[in-house]
């Protein structure tokens, strides 16, 4: 009989991650409030399927019932008709793309894993933006790859820029195999400028690092400004990532893609090796691939609706939090689904976030989740229904006012 009380020795497990064991104080308090049935104004909600965005789903639903979903047609790159749909969508960004160089996978998170396997040996490093999206410690750690960071700096009101010296000094150390760019970055909403693009391409070419450009938010400009895509960059080995999670707001369909480009010899090598990785997993599913043309068609109006929502929400946030003599400042947000608010540091960010939850019922992500250099910053979702954003922003403002 199996002994259910058996506890595995710690040595069974890999040390590629500092496996988290404790629940942080904020999540614990939120779970407690939920269990007690207390109301919550969730300013962090970024699930595009739960914020009441209008969509015309009839074409998507009928193509999910396609009979071809019952056929198994394995192809390491994914079904050709789906790759053709991705290539056609690139033309909207002004780039022709060969469908034979499109790689479909289950998500951009998986694409990172494939590219880290392609480019890095265990112990090599990838260079990621700070502040940035917290998933890299896991995605890199799971491939036994180290994370180094480069700085983004903010100046008001012009916005964020890449600290190119921090990129150069990290690349000069020699262990960095890939420069990761989130374009626009999450949560800073900053796009790559032309000057930055030239500098980054030059540095990566000089130090032999590839570029991984995550452009999942590229088609969601908010306050706008210069925006350069890495799509089709041919001076250095580059991989642009995108997928349905953001482009069409349907993360549950599980479809992402990699668009490689670069000098012809390196590109041919990369594509050949990527094919071996992709063939080992064959992870893109037939229903999502067969539905892709219909999904991408509908995504145009989805993005229009979302962009209108994001601009409305940012306007509301500014009008509620930036009145005359207000201690708050909403940072410039060029694009994406998130706005950053700078507020007085009456207490540490964690204490403020706990207070907001306990006293005002507001759940908001503190800046330290994204490795902001200073306190106090909070990230608000720009895809919230406006009435929820309004109520949350007012409660947030009143919570801080009570410190006076």
Binding site for ligand PLP (CB under 6 A): 107-109, 133, 182, 186, 214, 216, 243, 245, 251, 256
Which tokens sit at 166? 């921090």
CB of 329 to ligand PLP, least distance (A): 23
- How many Å apart are CA 184 and CA 182, to the nearest integer? 5
| Helix/strand/coil percentages in the chain, nearest 5 | 45, 15, 40
Q: At what angle do helices 386-401 and 349-360 cross, to 10 degrees?
A: 110
Strands 365-366, 362-363: pairing is unpaired
- How many Å apart are CA 240 and CA 256, to the nearest integer? 11
Query: Residue 213 or residue 362: which is nearer to ligand PLP going by CB?
Result: 213
Query: Residue 189 or residue 366: which is nearer to ligand PLP going by CB?
Result: 189
Query: Residue 112 or residue 378: which is nearer to ligand PLP going by CB?
Result: 112
Strand partners, 42: 363
Query: Residue 250 or residue 320: which is nearer to ligand PLP going by CB?
Result: 250
Of all helices (H) and strands (E), which one includes residue 115?
Answer: helix 108-119
Q: Are 349 and 316 in contact (CB under 8 A)?
A: no
CB of 115 to ligand PLP, least distance (A): 13
CB of 346 to ligand PLP, least distance (A): 30
Query: Residue 255 or residue 353: which is nearer to ligand PLP going by CB?
Result: 255
CB of 265 to ligand PLP, least distance (A): 29
Strand partners, 387: none
CB of 182 to ligand PLP, least distance (A): 5
Query: Residue 59 or residue 251: which is nearer to ligand PLP going by CB?
Result: 251
CB of 62 to ligand PLP, least distance (A): 24
Q: Are 238 and 261 in contact (CB under 8 A)?
A: yes
Q: Are 103 and 77 in contact (CB under 8 A)?
A: yes
């Amino acid at each position: 009989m199996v002994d259910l009380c058996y506890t595995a020795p710690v040595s069974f497990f890999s040390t590629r991650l500092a496996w988290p064991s404790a629940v942080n104080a904020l999540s614990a308090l939120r779970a407690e409030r939920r269990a007690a049935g207390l109301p919550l104004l969730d300013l962090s909600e970024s699930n595009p399927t739960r914020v009441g965005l209008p969509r015309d789903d009839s074409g998507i639903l009928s193509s999910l019932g396609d009979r071809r979903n019952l056929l198994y047609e394995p192809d390491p790159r994914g079904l050709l008709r789906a790759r053709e749909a991705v290539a056609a969508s690139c033309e909207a960004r002004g780039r022709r793309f060969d469908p034979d160089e499109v790689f479909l996978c289950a998500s951009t998170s998986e694409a990172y894993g494939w590219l880290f396997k392609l480019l890095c040996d265990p112990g090599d490093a990838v260079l990621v933006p700070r502040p940035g999206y917290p998933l890299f410690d896991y995605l890199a750690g799971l491939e036994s790859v180290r994370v180094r960071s480069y700085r983004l700096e903010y100046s008001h009101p012009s916005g964020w820029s890449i600290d190119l010296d921090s990129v150069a000094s990290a690349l000069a150390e020699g262990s960095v195999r890939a420069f990761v760019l989130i374009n626009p970055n999450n949560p800073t909403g900053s796009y790559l400028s032309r000057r930055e693009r030239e500098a980054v391409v030059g540095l990566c070419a000089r130090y032999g690092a590839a570029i991984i450009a995550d452009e999942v938010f590229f088609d969601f400009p908010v306050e706008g400004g210069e925006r350069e895509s890495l799509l089709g960059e041919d001076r250095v080995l580059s991989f642009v990532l995108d997928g349905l999670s953001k482009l069409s707001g349907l993360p549950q369909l599980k479809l992402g893609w990699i668009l490689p480009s670069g000098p012809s010899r390196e590109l041919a090598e990369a594509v050949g090796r990527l094919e071996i990785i992709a063939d080992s997993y064959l992870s893109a599913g037939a229903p999502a691939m067969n539905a892709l043309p219909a999904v991408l068609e509908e995504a145009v109006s989805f993005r229009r609706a979302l962009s209108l929502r994001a601009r409305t929400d940012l306007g509301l946030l500014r009008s509620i939090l930036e009145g005359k003599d207000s201690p708050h400042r909403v940072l410039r947000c060029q694009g994406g689904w998130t706005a950053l608010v700078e507020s007085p540091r009456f207490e540490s960010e964690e204490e403020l976030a706990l207070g907001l939850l306990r006293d005002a019922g507001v759940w908001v992500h503190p800046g330290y989740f994204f490795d902001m250099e200073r306190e106090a910053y909070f990230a608000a979702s720009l895809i919230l229904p406006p009435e929820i954003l309004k109520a949350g922003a007012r409660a947030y403002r009143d919570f801080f006012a009570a410190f006076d």
